[in-house]
Structure 1
Amino acid sequence: MDAILCLEGVGKIFPGAVALSDVSLSIARGETHIILGENGAGKSTLIKLLAGIYQPDSGRIAFNGQPYQPKTPHDAQQSGIRIVHQELNLLPYLSIAENLMLESLPRRAFGIVNRKALNSRAVALLKEVGLDIDPRIRVEALGVAQMQLVEIAKALSYDSKLLVLDEPTATLTPPEIERLFSIIKRLKARGVTIIYISHRLHEVFEIGDRVTVLRNGRLVATRDLHGLTVPDLVRMMIGRDIADEYGFDASIVPGKVALSVANLKRDASTPDISFAVRHGEILGVAGLVGSGRTEAMRALFGADPKLDGVVEIDGKPVAVAAPKDAVRHGLSLLTEDRKGQGLLLDLAVDKNITITDLGKVSHNGLLNRRAEAAAANDLVGQLRVKASSIEQAVRNLSGGNQQKVVLAKWLFRGTSTLILDEPTRGVDIGARREIYQLLWMLAAQRKGIIMVSSDLPELMGMCHRIIVFSKNRIVGEVPRAEFDQERILSLAYQEYVRP
């Protein structure tokens, strides 16, 4: 095998934890190599070693036949290795074009940036990933899925020998995934080597040549994908079979309307929308990237401004001008960007949980530490959050456990209707199933649940109904008995193909 990357006995130890132990692996030149493992298996550590963010404590790495010892991400890029991280790495106050070309801005005489050339090159790169958007827009105005596509476009702007994609489809819908896969196949045909990391097991068979599975920092196996099945991969990852992933509970029958939205209008240029969710119901929200589904939920929650609309909770009109109003009326939002908008990463688990209602654990304005610890421990146990203690910084938890902490903070506050935007983004199969079980628990408690997801099988597995967004409007509703992926996608495309 002509190996472009070789790891021999690589190990990495952090205080109190072995992140990688004696990992030996060879990646063939020009292959698409899949790396799988639960959250905490060592995938992120491995990527950061390749990126020059960490250095190994033991073992050796060789790239292109030479010892590879990057000290910084710049060293890795200069060597020909480009990483598209799961946690996006864009500069929010710069334009899309400036982010794409930051390291090679086209310039005129005296070092002045050539804006025309900059934007022209940016349009071409965005077209490659199917993103039709003005490159002069600031990145801060984009949704997470759009940012993901910008990150991928940025990686394509460099002549890389090895491209590492960490959860690139986490927020993408099937059409965007299909376009990404065609890009990967084109790169592979040009001799570029791809390392691809994903929790979506079904998709890896479409592009992968071989798969390596990590578990608890150790390499379990490296196998050809041909002949393997999803259950095979699950057994390798978690050491056991897993039952029905979604666990749809037909015994939970939706009741009266928990929340209704009538003629919600975000601004003068967008159509108004109306929908409702019932107590005990999981309502799915589907749509392509940029369809307006996330923006509508944020406007409903008061996180973004809205022009008009009537919101009713349990049949009573409520005024929601800001998130504090929504929370006061029992409406909660788990955002698609849990790290940027859902958590205080440097604070402990208990602080993140109780911050939504400090009055519950305070007396005369003074925090009751014992009451706070008791409340946090109760929810950590109930949601099976894996943490060394409630005093552990949330930053150091796995993605699945961070997501559980976000859920815990809203449960601590008390909620009647919960909006979840991409609730399983970047979450491994084991933790994902635990989150599904938590949602069924909440549905059984007669909460109303609105679930926004780019993963159609997830929506079809979990929801009682699905409403579909296309170009900022709701274009259809599909009851569970009529769920069909092709039908839902046709609705999602409806406004884009209208003459």
Structure 2
Amino acid sequence: MQSEAEHLTPVADGHEVIIETRNVSRIYPGVTALDSVSYRVWRNQVNVLIGENGAGKSTMMKMLAGVETPSSGQILLDGKPVTLTSTQQAEKHGISIIFQELNLFPNMNVMDNIFIGNEFFQHGVINEKYQYQLAKALLERLELDVDPLAPLGELGIGHQQLVEIARALSKDTRVLIMDEPTSALSQSEVKVLFTIIGALKRRGVTIIYISHRLEELMEIGDRITIFRDGRRIAEREVRDASVPWIIEQMVGDKKKHFDYQPAEQRETVLQVNGLTALAQNGGYTLNDVSFALRKGEVIGVYGLLGAGRTELFKGIIGLMHCERGSVLLNGESLERCGFQRRLKKGIALVPEDRKGEGMVEMMSIKSNMTLSDLSLKGFRRALARLNPQKETARVDEMIARLAIKVSDAELPVTSLSGGNQQKVVLGKALMTAPEVVLLDEPTRGIDVGAKTDVYHLIGSMAQAGLAVMFSSSELDEVMSLADRILVMADGKITADLTRAEATREKLIAASTPHD
């Protein structure tokens, strides 16, 4: 049975196609990422691209940006065939990309990150005064109050994302590809980004916009294209699309329903009392945070960017110094325990920044997954040598459990899509057989199908008696998944609500900082 978009319809009057692919395929060893895809990008519109994990979205964007080349097929720009073999070549044609995973240099300042590889020279030397003024103007345009000479590594993930956008805007861009640009942005920053997108459209810039937040797509998009299993399934104008139709096209006959009953509440596993950490500006990163987490319970932590969610998780597991307060695991104080000892005692963390903190890109899938668990005796023989048979068996078991789409665990972890990389990081945490699992934005930047897998995993962990705590900036996620919701603002817990008590209005009100 052919889909409605098996064949491209004629170009409508009044609109032009700026980029078109004809029967493009991309084949990796053992995997067909794209299967004879004909796809088009409409000039001066926001072209939304959506699909499940592994649908081929990122592969298509990498080819348009010159990162990858097609195994077969043709790419046309303004109706003429082009060969894009590097990002520099794509940028010469006016095509720029903002990758889902930040591609920045934390040891350099903001200005140098914006202009790296695209510097302005005068008499053979970089004109830093001009670059500073231009960087300042770009940052002000994004409503980002940051000194261009500030070290990038001192900025939060959301602000770094805006710097990535500023870098793309600094180039003479005709087509701007945005891969999950709002995954780390607060609601106010998202509004700024949407204003910028509107201004770019008015200047004649074409946008390709990838996101898994359906409400964003319906708000910002002009035209939507859906990929599934490496093929283009459907294309419509957004005004003619609906959320149920989008989900139906994305998942086809692979629909999954998230429905689990949380385990009965039992004894307290994790007790946090008065946890307090000072910020560099003299305020508080964490301000007298106290709560209890029980066995088989799922707590969701909701809050805006900078509320203290990530800092809370790092304070619990010992990755951040706290001036006051205590963390108890099964009644035992962890005051004298650093990160490694807390890991061994039964606390695991899946960090928000999976690329920078959750995995080692140069290592294989298997090596990443067992990285936190190499000290376990089950992986070792006499004389502290690794037991490769047991290691391989455990990894294969975890790959099957998490439904990671991979043909060989020895492949580089970077060969996986974002959703599958996140599953590897989750697997690494579960390899330590923890009692408490901390998940910092576990569904950030992954598709609907992978999100559902993560939801089911959280449910199964709770049913198995694990104590689970996750943070999220998505209201619907915390309201549907958590037994209890902690709301944070300015480093404090401003609300502690059961699922039955929680409403959107209560959560939004509690997450708004008050003087």
TM-score normalised according to structure 2 size:
0.89
AA matched with 1:154: R
Bigger drift between 150-159 and 420-429 goes to 150-159
Would you say 1:298 and 2:317 are equivalent positions?
no
Aligned pair in 2 of structure 1 residues 418, 324: CA closer, same or farther (>3 Å)? same
Residue 362 of structure 1 and its aligned partner are, at CA, apart by 0.7
2:269 paired residue among 245, 249, 258: 258
Provide the rounded CA distance (Å) in 2 between the counterparts of 1:235 and 1:341.
35
1:331 paired residue among 347, 372, 376: 347
Match of 2:290 in 1: 275
What SS class does the counterpart of residue 481 from structure 1 fall into? Answer: coil
Match of 2:52 in 1: 38
Provide the rounded CA distance (Å) in 2 between the counterparts of 1:172 and 1:399.
18
Provide the rounded CA distance (Å) in 2 between the counterparts of 1:410 and 1:179.
35
Match of 2:141 in 1: 128
1:203 paired residue among 216, 224, 227: 216
Contact map agreement 2:194 2:220 (CA 8 A) in 1: yes
Deviations 1:387-415 (A, max 9, x none): 21333332222322222222222222111
Provide the rounded CA distance (Å) in 1 between the counterparts of 2:201 and 2:35.
30
What SS class does the counterpart of residue 500 from structure 2 fall into? Answer: helix
Aligned pair in 2 of structure 1 residues 460, 331: CA closer, same or farther (>3 Å)? same
Contact map agreement 1:94 1:138 (CA 8 A) in 2: yes
Match of 1:182 in 2: 195
Contact map agreement 2:373 2:432 (CA 8 A) in 1: yes
Deviations 1:55-77 (A, max 9, x none): 22322222234432222211212
2:84 paired residue among 45, 59, 70: 70
Provide the rounded CA distance (Å) in 2 between the counterparts of 1:374 and 1:259.
31
Residue 311 of structure 1 and its aligned partner are, at CA, apart by 0.9
User: What pairs with 1:87-106 in structure 2 (closer than 5 Å)?
Assistant: 87-103=101-117, 105=119
Contact map agreement 1:97 1:122 (CA 8 A) in 2: yes
Residue 107 of structure 1 and its aligned partner are, at CA, apart by 6.8
AA matched with 1:175: S
Match of 1:368 in 2: 387
Residue 462 of structure 1 and its aligned partner are, at CA, apart by 1.0
5+ unaligned residues in a row in structure 1: which ranges?
A: none
Deviations 1:88-119 (A, max 9, x none): 1111111122212335556777736545x544
Provide the rounded CA distance (Å) in 2 between the counterparts of 1:174 and 1:77.
30
What SS class does the counterpart of residue 135 from structure 2 fall into? Answer: helix
Bigger drift between 413-422 and 402-411 goes to 402-411
AA matched with 1:466: I
Residue 202 of structure 1 and its aligned partner are, at CA, apart by 2.7
Deviations 1:189-210 (A, max 9, x none): 2221111111222321111111
Percent identity for Structure 1 against Structure 2: 37
Deviations 1:347-386 (A, max 9, x none): 3333333332223211221222222222222222222222
User: What pairs with 1:343-362 in structure 2 (closer than 5 Å)?
Assistant: 343-358=359-374, 359-362=377-380
Bigger drift between 402-411 and 24-33 goes to 402-411
Q: CA RMSD in A?
A: 2.4
Bigger drift between 105-114 and 254-263 goes to 105-114
AA matched with 1:25: Y
Would you say 1:214 and 2:227 are equivalent positions?
yes
1:191 paired residue among 197, 204, 213: 204
Match of 2:507 in 1: 488
Match of 2:11 in 1: none
Contact map agreement 2:289 2:492 (CA 8 A) in 1: no
Match of 1:140 in 2: 153
AA matched with 2:200: L
Contact map agreement 1:100 1:157 (CA 8 A) in 2: yes
Residue 87 of structure 1 and its aligned partner are, at CA, apart by 1.6
Provide the rounded CA distance (Å) in 2 between the counterparts of 1:435 and 1:480.
19
Aligned pair in 2 of structure 1 residues 461, 127: CA closer, same or farther (>3 Å)? farther
AA matched with 1:22: S
Match of 2:329 in 1: 313
Provide the rounded CA distance (Å) in 2 between the counterparts of 1:494 and 1:488.
12
Contact map agreement 2:263 2:464 (CA 8 A) in 1: no
Match of 1:432 in 2: 451
What SS class does the counterpart of residue 434 from structure 2 fall into? Answer: coil
Match of 1:228 in 2: 241
Aligned pair in 2 of structure 1 residues 409, 55: CA closer, same or farther (>3 Å)? closer
Aligned pair in 2 of structure 1 residues 231, 62: CA closer, same or farther (>3 Å)? same
Match of 1:287 in 2: 303
Residue 343 of structure 1 and its aligned partner are, at CA, apart by 1.9
Residue 442 of structure 1 and its aligned partner are, at CA, apart by 0.8
Contact map agreement 2:260 2:456 (CA 8 A) in 1: no
AA matched with 2:270: L
Bigger drift between 320-329 and 334-343 goes to 320-329
Aligned pair in 2 of structure 1 residues 131, 313: CA closer, same or farther (>3 Å)? farther
Provide the rounded CA distance (Å) in 1 between the counterparts of 2:106 and 2:496.
35
Aligned pair in 2 of structure 1 residues 320, 132: CA closer, same or farther (>3 Å)? farther
Deviations 1:114-170 (A, max 9, x none): 45x544543443333343334333222233222222212222233421111001122
Provide the rounded CA distance (Å) in 2 between the counterparts of 1:162 and 1:236.
26
The count of aligned residue pairs is 493
Match of 2:8 in 1: none
Deviations 1:445-478 (A, max 9, x none): 2222121122222112211222222233333333
AA matched with 2:378: K
Provide the rounded CA distance (Å) in 1 between the counterparts of 2:143 and 2:506.
22
Contact map agreement 1:146 1:290 (CA 8 A) in 2: no
AA matched with 2:394: A
Deviations 1:173-222 (A, max 9, x none): 33322322222222222221111111222321111111111222221122
Provide the rounded CA distance (Å) in 2 between the counterparts of 1:164 and 1:333.
32
Aligned pair in 2 of structure 1 residues 314, 252: CA closer, same or farther (>3 Å)? same
AA matched with 1:261: V
Provide the rounded CA distance (Å) in 2 between the counterparts of 1:22 and 1:139.
41
Contact map agreement 1:84 1:168 (CA 8 A) in 2: yes
Bigger drift between 123-132 and 439-448 goes to 123-132
Contact map agreement 1:234 1:241 (CA 8 A) in 2: no
Aligned pair in 2 of structure 1 residues 91, 71: CA closer, same or farther (>3 Å)? same
Aligned pair in 2 of structure 1 residues 27, 448: CA closer, same or farther (>3 Å)? same
Provide the rounded CA distance (Å) in 2 between the counterparts of 1:366 and 1:458.
43
